[in-house]
Amino acid sequence: MKTMRKFGLGLAALLMPAAAFAQDTSAPDIEMWRLDCGTMILSDIGPFSDGHLYDGETGTMTVGCYVIRNGDRYLLWDAGLSGQMLGTSVTQWIFTLSLDRTIADQLGDIGLTPENITFLGLSHYHDDHIGQASDFAASTLLMNRRDIAAVRDQEMPSAQAALAPWISGDAESVDFGRDHDVFGDGSVMILSMPGHTPGHSALLVRLPETGPVLLTGDLYHFREQIENYGVPVFNTDRADTLASFERFLQIDQALEAMIVIQHDPGDIERLPAFPESAR
Ligand SMILES: [Zn+2]
């Protein structure tokens, strides 16, 4: 195994131009902020396990969005609840949803506007991840092609409205069906983790000081699901979900990464409190 790896590196060295080595001497200049993109109070978290693991339990989920700067380019990862919920509270099914501040408003605290966001990365097409997407119609959409196709071809009026600029072809998007290297330097990778939706994705961010961080998307909604493999009843594919659980934890262990579950209130403190950033 050791010999194989050495050989691999040697081959890469032969194939790489000298300029690539010059760039490698300085690590990418990266930082990440966590934005508050809403709160969801759940009257019943039973549907988050098709094995009846959580029947009768209630819960609170926070909605996290993340801004990642690489040099002078920015990625917004997930777009939270709709801005129309600002200052109100809406109950749908088991969820009571609320939003204190919009993403655009919070960006102002760190000297940014939506126009600064180069890439809009979406983990999947559910409403609590795309609510404010249309505020970023000038950004290039990064979303797995299987989720884009689902929104385009299926009966999803609210997702079709939220993603209209890209579905119509007016706004730019990048077509990918597996992992995607956001900035082209390996520092931020969209990881294909299907099962919650057909094209569901997680995000790996390699921070220079903090180390690798894994943002879950909705692969997990709360910590307990890592331990007992709770698969939501509304996931599009159970087998894909289990395979994604396995891959995600393999990556976590191999890279000694920090997992941040985007909907778990207990995970907020894993990153610095906004407007501080993780370096
Ligand atoms: Zn969600």
Q: What is the average pLDDT across 268-275?
A: 98
User: What token pair was written down for 222?
Assistant: 């709360």
pLDDT at 265 over 90: yes
Backbone angles phi, psi at 142, to 5 degrees: -120, 105
Helix (H, G, I), strand (E, B) or coil at 127: helix
Question: Which residues are within 8 A (CB) of 152 and not within 5 positions of it... i.e. 6 or more apart?
Answer: 160, 167
Distance 111 CA to ligand 1 centre (A): 27
pLDDT at 20: 46
pLDDT at 28: 86
E-strand stretches of the chain = 30-42, 59-70, 73-77, 89-92, 95-98, 119-121, 140-142, 173-174, 180-181, 188-192, 201-207, 211-215, 258-260
Distance 64 CA to ligand 1 centre (A): 9
pLDDT tens sequence across 39-78: 999 999 999 999 999 999 999 999 999 999 999 999 999 9
Alpha helix (H) residue ranges in the chain: 2-15, 18-24, 103-109, 127-130, 145-153, 157-162, 164-167, 224-228, 238-255
pLDDT tens sequence across 1-30: 444 454 444 444 445 444 444 445 567 899
pLDDT at 170 over 50: yes
Distance 2 CA to ligand 1 centre (A): 41
Q: What is the average pLDDT across 254-264?
A: 98
Report whether 115 contacts 100 (CB < 8 A). Answer: no
pLDDT tens sequence across 67-86: 999 999 999 999 999 999 99
Distance 151 CA to ligand 1 centre (A): 16
Distance 185 CA to ligand 1 centre (A): 28
Enter the pTM of the model.
0.91
Share of the chain above pLDDT 70, in %: 91
Distance 200 CA to ligand 1 centre (A): 11
Helix (H, G, I), strand (E, B) or coil at 246: helix
Distance 63 CA to ligand 1 centre (A): 7
pLDDT at 241: 98
Alpha helix (H) residue ranges in 16-102: 18-24
pLDDT tens sequence across 104-148: 999 999 999 999 999 999 999 999 999 999 999 999 999 999 999
Which domains, ranges and CATH numbers included, belong to the chain?
A: 29-270 (3.60.15.10)
Distance 89 CA to ligand 1 centre (A): 17
Distance 10 CA to ligand 1 centre (A): 43
Report whether 118 contacts 194 (CB < 8 A). Answer: no
**Ligand 1 is an ion; residues with CB less than 5 A from it:** 128, 218
Distance 99 CA to ligand 1 centre (A): 14
CB count in 10 Å sphere of residue 40? 19
pLDDT at 271: 98
Distance 73 CA to ligand 1 centre (A): 26
Query: Which of residues 209 and 2 earns the better pLDDT score?
Result: 209
* Distance (Å) of CA 66 to CA 75, 126, 167, 190: 8, 17, 23, 13
Distance 194 CA to ligand 1 centre (A): 14
User: What token pair was written down for 121?
Assistant: 């990365």
pLDDT at 19: 47
Distance 127 CA to ligand 1 centre (A): 8
pLDDT at 182: 98
CB count in 10 Å sphere of residue 81? 26
